[in-house]
Amino acid sequence: DEIGDARTRYFPDPPTATPDVRDESVEAENAYRLGDYEQAITLYREVVKGKPNDAGIHFRLAYLLLITSGSGSDTVKINEALKMAQATISANPESPLGWTIQAMALDWGLQHNRALASAQRALEIDPNSIFAKAVLGNIYRNLGDLGLSKATFDDAIAQIQRNGADNETVAQVYRNYGRYLSSQADYEGAADAYQRARQAMPTATYITIELANYVYIDPSETETSINLLEETLDTNPRDAAVLSQLGQLYYSQGVYDRATERFQQCITVNQNYIDCYSALGKLEFFVNANYGKVIEYLTTATRLGSSDPYDYFLLARSYYRLQPPQCEQAAKPLRDGYNLMLENGETNLVKKDDFLRAFTDCGLAQPQAAPQITPTAETVIATTPEATIAPQ
């Protein structure tokens, strides 16, 4: 044993070789430039293994995870982005990159106060970081400090006009400024800002989706939104977020065949896209009364981790409406949805009384309140998407 200890002490195992990722680096950069962000994410996950101290690569991966997260609705990507942001800081704590992308991830994950501290740290390191100012302006808006938000955006835009900036930075500044203007009902100004962001990064489809969501909000402009997103889809045919948004718009117009087509394409290109399973379930429930299909889609949505109590409610009601009713199958989604509603609050679509009535209809015992979970540092971030909370 002593000999073995000595051998280990004086002749340790050689360190694990860092993988050669030069080819993956080139492929990742090409995918990024072409706008194939999902492929770029896959490749950059390999690249960071071979470049553990490259803060820029870690930043790029975290940034891609965020801008493909459905403005924060994909909490798996938000959480991965937060981990990658921490890795960016670890790679170089004195670079503003890690603190900036951590602030953006926290902001989109609805942790605005923590985001504020990270953004301020980034600007302590580099007071001239335009990207950090873009993120900070968005955080101030989310915190309701509109005066500071406007001043921060004015400063960032003036700096771009004086010195220029890379496309990612320009896009982020004008995207965030567009969100600010739309929250102030300045839709003409917001449209200009969003178009400026789209010009800087035409492959960043989330910017186009937000333009449709937050600027073209009048019912008379729905056709404009559809045309804009269909045009975007021509160059990004595998973008699940664009497909999902188009499906929602067609559904709102009563064009159910087109809505179904877009939602089906969405789950074909991304088998984990909860929103599209949820939307298909609602469409089959209310339009086609095909309860078997509702069960298929909403079972998948809930299995993937839907945080919408309405998905669980409609799943349970579909079991109830089968002939004969399958109330034993309805019990679990009713309990899970009821507990989610208690945790997150009632929504416009489903109330506590709706759940209680469903329990009664099925002859099930009334539910007991779920025990409260004390948040910890490891608790997953809130799952309500940034894109659905006014005035985000």
User: Each residue of 214-246: pLDDT tens digit?
Assistant: 999 888 999 999 999 999 999 888 888 899 999
CB neighbour list of residue 297: distance below 8 Å, 6 or more residues apart: 277, 278, 280, 281, 284
Sole residue written with tokens 């329990």: 359
Q: Do 301 and 254 share a structural domain?
A: no
Q: Do 300 and 224 share a structural domain?
A: no
Q: Confirm whether 206 is domain-assigned.
A: no
Q: Confirm whether 144 is domain-assigned.
A: no
The interaxial angle of helices 309-321 and 274-283, nearest 10 deg, is 40
Point out the domain boundary residue: 231, 247, 272: 272
Tens digits of residue pLDDT in 181-212 = 999 999 999 999 999 999 999 888 999 999 99
**Considering only 7-21, 49-63, 135-149, which range has the smallest mean pLDDT?**
7-21
Q: Do 348 and 296 share a structural domain?
A: yes
Neighbours of 13 (CB within 10 A): 6
Q: Confirm whether 325 is domain-assigned.
A: yes
**Considering only 65-79, 232-246, 259-273, which range has the smallest mean pLDDT?**
65-79
Q: How far is Cα 78 from Cα 380, in angstroms, rounded to an integer?
A: 10
Q: Confirm whether 104 is domain-assigned.
A: yes
Report the CATH number at residue 221: 1.25.40.10
Looking at residue 317, its pLDDT comes to: 98
Q: Confirm whether 348 is domain-assigned.
A: yes
Q: Do 36 and 111 share a structural domain?
A: yes
Q: How remote is the C-alpha of 12 from its chain's centroid?
A: 45
Point out the domain boundary residue: 91, 109, 127: 127
Q: Confirm whether 195 is domain-assigned.
A: no
The interaxial angle of helices 37-50 and 55-67, nearest 10 deg, is 150
Q: Do 288 and 264 share a structural domain?
A: no
Q: Confirm whether 311 is domain-assigned.
A: yes
Q: Do 109 and 44 share a structural domain?
A: yes
Looking at residue 52, its pLDDT comes to: 87
How many structural domains compose the chain? 3
Point out the domain boundary residue: 111, 127, 143: 127
Looking at residue 130, its pLDDT comes to: 98
Q: Do 117 and 28 share a structural domain?
A: yes
Q: Confirm whether 146 is domain-assigned.
A: no
Q: Do 311 and 267 share a structural domain?
A: no
The size of the chain, in residues, is 392
**Considering only 86-90, 344-348, 355-359, which range has the smallest mean pLDDT?**
344-348
| Domain of 115, in residue numbers | 19-127
